[in-house]
Amino acid sequence: MRWLTVFAEFVLVPVLMVAAAWCWRNGISTTVFKPQGEAPAFSATRYVGPWLAGSAVFAIGAGLVLIDMLARAFRRR
C-alpha cells in the first residue's frame, strides 16, 4: 500500500507543477502600445494577483507532496 501512495504522489507532483506554470503564465500579461503622435511606443506588464497566488499555492503543494513522497519512499520499518 505504501508504494501505491508513493507512485500516486510521484504522478501528482508534475501535475501540480504544470498547474503552477499555467497559473503563472495567466497571471502575467504584457500589452504593447503603438506610438501615437508625440507619445512613444511602450509596453505595459500587468500582474493578476489571484492567478499568481494560485501558482504559489500549487508550487507549495507540489513541494509538500514531494517531501511526503520522499519520506514514504525512504522510510525504514
Q: What would the DSSP string read from start to end of the chain?
A: -HHHHHHHHHHHHHHHHHHHHHHHHHHEEEEEE--BTTBPPEEEEEE-HHHHHHHHHHHHHHHHHHHHHHHHHT---
Mean pLDDT of the chain: 95
Range with the lowest mean pLDDT among 12-16, 34-38, 56-60?
34-38
Is the pLDDT confidence value at 22 over 90? Answer: yes
pLDDT at 2: 84
In this prediction, residue 76 has a pLDDT band, given cuts at 50, 70 and 90, of confident
